[in-house]
Amino acid sequence: MNDACPPSRRQKFRLALECFGLFVVAPAGGAAAHLPVAVIPMLLLMALGCGLVLRFHYHMAWREFVCPPVPAREWWRVLAIYAIALPCLLGFLWLLEPGALFSLVRKHPGLWLLLMAGYPLLSVIPQELIYRAFFFRRYRGLFGEGSGLVLAGAALFGLGHVLFHNWPSVLLSFLGGCLFGITYQRTSSLLVASVEHALYGCAVFTLGYGAFFFDDTMRAFR
């Protein structure tokens, strides 16, 4: 499909089927069947496939979406929103399950340190490659260039977390997907979106949300 031209009705139909299969049927089917999905290997394989599509189908050089010029104000915007969101996350967990607060740091400090180092590389970067760099380039012909694309990506990002079988992981992932999507849309930078995602992901595990996101994301470090 040529990016310079809007997709035809047939192309849109094919893209819609592809998007539905990849981002709805696969996670929902896995969750419904309670399949023992290896999340980290699955993410890495899917990210590899998405990266190859971006490189060879869309002819994107890595520097195009990793290191475009990003104004300093975007970094400050990310940090300002993070400073507001952090106490909100703390308060939400206190209402949801107060006994879980800082449980990983208190009970397994070594695992927490490994998670802080490995999670951004093994989980955040693949997710951002899939749900931001790939999704925004591949499906903008379906959802447009504006808020519809961000909301669609965030909704499917949240849906991808149904594999954890709890609503807080889906809700928090949807909200995070909105933030990361807006950042990627504003900057076109996988680096900035990944740093923002890593800040929230590490905060989530530090604060004690690990039970809601517990799968191979954490078992990989045991």
Lowest mean pLDDT among 74-88, 123-137, 203-217: 203-217
pLDDT digits (tens, 9 = 90+) for 150-167: 999 999 999 999 988 899
Q: What is the pTM of this model?
A: 0.91
CA 35 – CA 29 distance, rounded (Å):
8
CA 75 – CA 102 distance, rounded (Å):
27
Residue 148 has a pLDDT of: 96
The stretch 60-71 carries a mean pLDDT of: 82
CA 153 – CA 140 distance, rounded (Å):
10
Rg (CA), the chain: 18
CA 167 – CA 190 distance, rounded (Å):
27
DSSP 8-class letter at 106:
H
Residue-range domain boundaries for the chain = 9-219
More confident residue, 6 or 202: 202
| Residue 18 to residues 13, 142, 155, Cα–Cα distance (Å) | 9, 11, 16
The stretch 11-26 carries a mean pLDDT of: 94
Query: Do 140 and 125 touch, CB atoms closer than 8 A?
Result: no
The string of DSSP codes covering 164-210 is G--HHHHHHHHHHHHHHHHHHHHH--HHHHHHHHHHHHHHHHHHTGG
pLDDT digits (tens, 9 = 90+) for 83-132: 999 999 999 999 999 999 999 999 999 999 999 999 999 999 999 999 99
CA 197 – CA 181 distance, rounded (Å):
10
The amino acid occupying position 212 is F
Helical segments of 97-161, H only: 103-107, 109-119, 125-128, 135-138, 140-143, 147-159
- What's the mean pLDDT when you consider all of the chain? 90
